[in-house]
Every structure is written in C-alpha cells, then in structure tokens.
Structure 1
C-alpha cells in the first residue's frame, strides 16, 4: 500500500559514518529529513538554518567532535564583482541561458558523468557514474514550485547545468556541473554571478552556497564573493539563526 504524506510531514533518519570528502582522516555523518510535500515556507526555514536539499531529502552534518562545516551565504544587495569575476562575464558574452523547472535527459547524464570524470582526474574526487534514476531522484523530484535549473549553452550545445531553489529570501545553490572542454569560460564563477543577477531582479537578499570548510580547496572560491556571512551550527526552527558578517 502506497504511503500518502501530508504537507510538510517528514521521516527523519541518519546514516552511518563514512569518509569525509572535505577533510582527510575525518569521518562524517549526515542527518536527513525526507519531506515529499515540503512547502516553500518550510524550505526557506530549513535553508536559513543551514540545511541542504537533494530531491525529497533535506540534510546537514552531525559529525562527532567536528564542527568545521559552516553555512555560507552571499550578501546580494552589497555584492560588487571583482576584476576576475567581471572577466568571467566577458568570457561568456556568447553563452546562452535558459531557466526552467528541472528536467532529465541523456544529455544531462552524459555531461554530469563527463564533469565528474574530469574532477576525479584533476582533483582526486571519487568517481561514481550516475544513471537516469539516481539523477532523477536527486535533482528533479522535490523541486515543486521553487526548484529550477539554469542551463548554459554554447552554439546550441549544453555546457552547464545549475540546480537551484528560489526561496522566500534568496537562492539556495544545490549543484552545478559543466563541460570541462569549456573550462576556460570560468562557468563556475559565471553561474554564481547569474544567480546573483537573478536574485537582484527578484529583490532577494541572499545566495545560500551550502558549506564552507576552512582549508578545503574545493570551497575556496566561495569566500571570493564578498561580502558574505557564516552560520555556526544548525539552529532549531524555534531559534533565530545567528549569521556572522564577513567582508
């Protein structure tokens, strides 16, 4: 018999410790909340408190004896692009953009796997090939009326996919991947600049960038978007999150 979930009803669980992808010789454990019918109000509340979303699952780390994952958000209204960020905009003068509800295609899967093979070789990421079902469950379902994909094209070729949630006070970055053959376009930087532009047009205050770990090279780019704020810990829904401003 199929289970029917009510609005914002959840199933909470956690996973066993596994190797931390950010810090060597560390273990991580994630706390999950499975919410098939999450409202935009609830998602906003969770994102403001450091939660992340993949599909129907919302999560944050609960690692023993470690508190290195800090949530980071960009101050949209006070953001001013640096010289290198302005160069990324110029590089992409011929890049086309489409914003729509998340979809799935063989083109998405091929690009995702190509990107992760590249990162495995360049940065030592562990490579696991994604299939249609897994991609659908992680990046398509759960979008409801707030999840979007920003597609990047060059000469009608898909070269980048940016998954985002547009919540009440900002944009939550879920995941971005691109074609490494177009690495010279600095698409990672450009995609964040596009998010900031979208947020400004929608009169939103923040870009929620997920976690920042001091010393982790994969996250170093996040602190280049100034000013930004950091959140220590994951406050409960009844608590006011204490974001600390950084210039």
Structure 2
C-alpha cells in the first residue's frame, strides 16, 4: 500500500510481523526512502517527529492497534547523572573514544557478532553477515560517524556506536559492546558519553530510538533524567514512566492516510 503527498516523499507500510518488544503483539512500520540532495533536510525534519534511520530508510512504528513504542530523546540541558550513572562513568574512565567515518572493519564485525550471539541470538539481526553489517554501517546518505571505545591498556575494542549528527542532536542509530563486561554497564556508558559529546558540540538532544513501556528490554532508557518522548504529535517530558501504559486498543493508532497527512515536511524548494 502506498500513500503520497503532493511534492513530498512517498510513504509505505510494512506487512505486520511479531513485535520484538511485547509478546503477543504485531508490529507495523510507516517508512519512506532517504535519498537524493534533500536527504539531510528530510532526516532532520522526520527525526524530530519520531522517525528513525536504518540505512537509506526512515521509519516510525504504525501498529494497527497498539501505540506503545515512543520515540525517546534526552534533553542535554536537563540531564543530571544519578549516583549509579556517576559510578558507571568512573568505572569506564580508562576507555578511549575515537570517532571515525562510517567504515566497517573486521574488529567491529567480530564484536558485533559476539554481542548479538550473547544478547540477541533470536532477534531479527541474528543472521546478519559481514556484507550486511558493512551495509548497515556504510550506507548512509547523511552525516554519520562510527564512535569506537577501546581499553587504553589492552587496546581492545569493547564498544561501538553508529551515530548520526542531526541539526539538533546526536542520534544513536545502533550500538554494541562486549557483553561479558557486565559490571561496566557499557550500554549505559555509551549513552552517557554521547550526552557529553552533544554537550561539547552545543547540540541539545541525544536521540535514543524507542522506549516501550512494559518492555524489559527498553526499561533502561527511563532511568535517564531529561528524557522526552514523542507522543500525540509532540515531545513531552517523561515524568512518571508508570503513566505511559502499553495499551492495546483498536483506536490506538490513526489511519495511515491521516498519519501521513499530519507529517510536517520541509520545503526543499526554498532557495532554488
């Protein structure tokens, strides 16, 4: 099924498939291609409306009767680390950060495979081979960086984040790390370090993907102060996570045509 707006990108809907976050539910995505001279402008505009990038595609959940998935970002100006997050920062003081162009390496893929086999062996990316991994890293029409974290003693690569640079923040597209180092809480540390990178660069937000109330996999995101979620067409402070119920209702989601009509698109013709 295809839906279009005049002088606008074409939007499509995926076929329903089992939800990776909530048992017994089906997921569906609204998506559009990210390509051409206006890719950066479109990515900025749609990221601010809850969309995420995957290679050359921008997508947003559009499930038939569930609206649990909420795009999440951290307001850097309102973030204050908790006591446990301060401990995580101290435990990882020995890590060295290096930002590079989006280019896949053998070391990255080896770490990626170790991470998937330990944490997401039954997930949708479990069978990703080295060529698909390279495409995930390298196929980007916008300004992206690979941020690597290495042990300053052994030189071992222990964490990686594929990160997009938006006009209003950093978007952590995908991150992975050494799963055995549980005490170091590397997943949390990578987010904490991105908050610092954004602060140094004068960028107001760090985009984290989706927060799903009721999903243990996504619960950690609610532990960051300054968290905002995109709901009912606006960003709002998370506040008490308990007020966001993962409800299942046939009227939870607007019809696709109405969703597309309500998307605010940039005027890419300006100045031409």
Question: Normalising by the residue count of structure 1, what TM-score does the alignment of the two structures yield?
Answer: 0.86
Corresponding residue of 2:237: 245
Q: What corresponds to 2:73 in structure 1?
A: 73
Deviation readout 1:3-33 (Å, 9 max, x if unpaired) = xxxxx98554332111100111001111221
Q: Which moved more, 1:30-39 or 1:190-199?
A: 30-39
Q: Which residue of 1 aligns with 2:243?
A: none
Equivalent positions of 1:77-88 (< 5 A) are 77-88=77-88
Tell me, yes or no, if structure 1 residue 141 matches structure 2 residue 139.
yes
Q: Which residue of 2 aligns with 1:60?
A: 60
- Aligned partner of 1:227 in structure 2 is 226
Q: C-alpha separation between the residues in 1 aligned to 2:150 and 2:140?
A: 25
Report what 1:215 is aligned to: 214
1:93-144 Cα deviation digits (max 9, x unpaired): 11111012211122221111110111146xx646723212211222221153
Structure 2 distance, partners of 1:188, 1:161, is 10
Q: Who is 1:102 aligned against?
A: 102
Counterpart-to-counterpart distance in 2, 1:149 and 1:9: 31
Q: Name the CA distance, whole Å, in 1 between partners of 2:124 and 2:53.
A: 21
Give the CA deviation at 1:226: 0.7
Aligned residues: 230
Root mean square deviation, CA, Å: 1.9
Q: What's the secondary structure of 1:229's corresponding residue?
A: strand
Name the SS for the 1:222 alignment partner: helix
Match of 2:17 in 1: 18
Q: Secondary structure at the match of 2:23?
A: coil
Whichever of the two has the greater Rg, that structure is: 2
Q: Which residue number corresponds to residue 165 of structure 1? A: 164
- Pair 44,177 (structure 1): closer, same or farther in 2 beyond 3 Å: same
Tell me which residue corresponds to 1:40: 40
Question: Which residue number in structure 2 is paired with residue 50 of structure 1?
Answer: 50
Cα 1:75–1:84, aligned 2, differ >3 Å: closer, same or farther?
same
Cα separation, 2, equivalents of 1:120 and 1:76:
29
SS of equivalent to 1:181: coil
Q: SS at the partner of 2:68?
A: coil
Residues 53-89 of structure 1: per-residue CA shift (max 9 Å, x gap):
1111111111101111111111101111001111111
Change in Cα spacing, 1:11 to 1:171, as seen in structure 2 (3 Å) is: same
